[in-house]
Amino acid sequence: MKGKVVLITGASSGIGRALAFAFGRQQARIVICARRVESLETVSQELTRSGIENVGIQADVSVEEDVRKLIDATIERYGRLDILINNAGITMRSMVLDMEPDVIRKVMDINFMGTVYATRYALPHILKTRGSIVGISSIAGYRGLPVRSGYSASKFAMNGFLEALRTELLNTGVHVLVACPGFTTSNIRYSALNSEGQVAGETVRDETQMMSAEECADHILKAVKRRKRDLILTAQGKLVVFLNKLFPAFTDRMVYKTLAREKDSPLSK
């Protein structure tokens, strides 16, 4: 990783922040982006104090022009791009019947179209370096989760997009990784949208029982080094993906019961 340029979207907290430190400790040069300037500056300063070369660039990945400028600024600063990590994401929590359709549009714009924009504008530069494109997806990209229909849809879309891209790039030397954490400690659940598209501001899961963002980032770093195509994390995540392939009806019931036990779950009403 020494000297490589790594661009991480959604890097102001959680897995994105942990990835910046994980790759930075390997002497990569880090470009972080996020919507909130204050949080971005805080992480950039933390990286600098740790001796990690970095630059923070404000960008909203759901805005195409922001992403175009982000890639241009990265190339202007470093002259190359080796690894793009599409990490920016948002989730939602609502039954479909109760939800405004615009909630799904907002989630898709950030999680899926953000990945499309960043990948498209980064691709010419990554082709030159034969680098890596990484999508931070989810178990929800393999198995639809009730009360998170929009989030699942966005991650299914990301998985299909990156799989198609990997096949297109088969003979170019570019590496494409789809990384799917299970439930991981991060701020994404605190920023989950409710049925009206408002930020709920709380988590409904016990965060102490989850894989840490730092552990997740270390697994992703190793997968990039080994140029793996897929990474599914946590025993629970691997089990769900396995069972869903072989016993989908059983998995329907299992997933329903598991998520019905969440705090204030509409499935339990």
pLDDT for the residue 201: 55
pLDDT for the residue 263: 82
pLDDT for the residue 118: 98
- For the question of residue 151 being annotated catalytic, the response is yes
pLDDT for the residue 200: 60
Q: Whose CA is closest to 244, among 97, 139, 169? A: 139
- The residue written with tokens 């999508």 in the block is 135
pLDDT for the residue 196: 57
Would you say 82 and 131 are in contact if contact means Cβ atoms under 8 Å apart?
Answer: yes
From start to end of the chain, where are the E strands?
5-8, 29-34, 54-58, 83-86, 132-136, 175-180, 230-232
Choose the catalytic residue: 142, 151, 190, 256.
151
Structural domains of the chain, ranges and CATH numbers in brackets: 5-234 (3.40.50.720)
Q: How many CB atoms lie within 10 A of CB 84?
A: 27
Q: pTM for the full model?
A: 0.90
**Average pLDDT, consecutive stretches of 10 residues, N- to C-terminus, the chain (269 residues):** 96 94 97 94 96 97 97 97 96 91 95 98 98 96 94 97 98 97 65 64 58 94 97 92 95 93 83
For residue 102 the two structure tokens come to 């615009």
- Exposed, middle or buried by CB within 10 Å (0-12, 13-18, 19+), for 16? buried
pLDDT for the residue 76: 97
In the chain, the amino acid numbered 131 is: G
pLDDT for the residue 202: 57
